[in-house]
Amino acid sequence: MSERVVLAYSGGLDTSVAIPYLAEQTGAEVIAVAVDVGQGGEDLDAIRRRALDCGAVESEVVDARDEFAAGYCLPAVRANALYMDRYPLVSALSRPLIVTHLVAAARRHGGTIVSHGCTGKGNDQVRFEVGLGALAPDLKVIAPARDFAWTRDKAIAFAEEKGLPIDVSARSPYSIDQNLWGRAVETGFLEDIWNAPVEDLYAYTDDPGQERDADEVVITFDAGVPVAIDGETVTPYEAIRELNRRAGAQGVGRLDMVEDRLVGIKSREVYEAPGAIALITAHQELEAVTVERDLARYKRGVDQRWAELVYDGLWFSPLKQALDAFIDDAQRHVCGEVRLTLHGGRAVVTGRRSETSLYDFGLATYDTGDTFDQSLAKGFVQLWGLPSRIAAERAARVGGV
């Protein structure tokens, strides 16, 4: 029996051409695996058939939408995961899930090689291969676009030579990756970072400048997990889809940023993530109500590190797993409701309530009913500032600070 290559298959030009090309270069049979993480667009059964028509000996389509929502997007909500305080990890979250299904397919079909369509300039090659190394270090990896200096011109010529059943005449001016959590757009005229995005590159969000009525939504959380919208129970997948629809209709979740790629270059990216931004905004506010001050302060650093690890392809790392355990414990009391107004491209918190709230009206109010003993404050202030005062007295005595 010949070797078998398990290919992460999208149905596009590059991965379709990779099927006969890998067969020629390696002498191996190719198994195409497409993973549905809510990317929408083309019919996945058509993608499965195209892989077979291009020469794959087996072709699988995995419906991983619920798995992606519950196992990958929700941890990102609980970690308030925003890389560089802005990017909600649209592509980065899907890669470890795809890796798990590539490994599973390799085990089922006797695969010894895994292949992907990433280039040598991007983050995704790292996410795929570091994940594969963590889950299945025995598998070899081939990346045609990187390892064989594969260009789009070569891919088109090869497709025409082989008569592959794919359309290579029309080309989007952008490189697009999308899933349930959001949509990433790059290349083309966006590579000049002075050029403003144009409206036709957006698909998940409507123009935030359009006149429309605001939309008010109430999100219910249990231990940091969204469990209801406007009182209606939802699954994680349903919650994200509904907020993509409603927040997207208000233009929420558009981002235009220059980010620091793992490989050391800066890259201009335009993102749409309406559901992600709405959920993280609401979750952060509920944490402000229910998480004790020092725990909240420490968790902000954990959240940032968690996002960096996921962005850098270290989903399966020991540190990421340890941070997951910390975050899980910190979410025990993050229960309650947050009201958002969605309008003009913004998700604005207008109300919050929780049975596990640490907010005490009697302590907070300045009106009748105040239970705060202000007589204690003077001594507290003196003791709190004592180290600084002692240091200042020394500076006055010996000079310096």
The H or E element spanning position 362 is helix 361-364
Query: Can you tell me the distance from the alpha carbon of 124 to that of 92, in angstroms, rounded to the nearest whole number?
Result: 7
169 is an active site residue: no
* Helix, strand, or coil (residue 2): coil
Binding-site positions read 8-16, 87, 117, 119, 123-124, 127, 175, 259, 271
Which one of 36, 175, 212, 324 is the catalytic residue?
A: 175
207, with CB counted inside 10 A (0-12, 13-18, 19+), is exposed
Reading the block at residue 123, the tokens are: 């983050």
182 in the Ramachandran plot: left (φ > 0), alpha (ψ -120 to 50) or beta? left
Q: What residues does 343 pair with on adjacent strands?
A: 346
Three-state helix/strand/coil letters over 158-191: HHHHHCCCCCCCCCCCCEEEEECCEEEEECHHHH
29: closest CA among 6, 8, 53? 6
Cβ distance 116 to 128 under 8 Å?
yes
260 is an active site residue: no
Reading the block at residue 41, the tokens are: 């667009």
95: closest CA among 310, 321, 307? 310
175 is an active site residue: yes
Kindly state the DSSP code that residue 197 receives in the 8-state scheme. Answer: P
Binding-site positions for L-aspartate read 119, 123-124
94 is an active site residue: no
Binding-site positions for ATP read 8-16, 117
128: closest CA among 319, 314, 4, 321? 314
Query: Can you tell me the distance from the alpha carbon of 90 to that of 88, in angstroms, rounded to the nearest whole number?
Result: 6
Reading the block at residue 24, the tokens are: 């020629």
Which one of 4, 50, 95, 268 is the catalytic residue?
A: 95
Which one of 4, 78, 124, 183 is the catalytic residue?
A: 124
Torsion, CA 187, CA 189, CA 194, CA 199, rounded to 10: -100
Reading the block at residue 60, the tokens are: 């699988």
Query: Can you tell me the distance from the alpha carbon of 314 to that of 213, in angstroms, rounded to the nearest whole number?
Result: 42
Contacts with 68 (C-beta within 8 Å, 6 or more apart), sequence order: 37, 38, 93, 94, 97, 179, 180, 181, 237
Which one of 4, 14, 48, 352 is the catalytic residue?
A: 14
- The set of catalytic residues is 14, 95, 124, 175
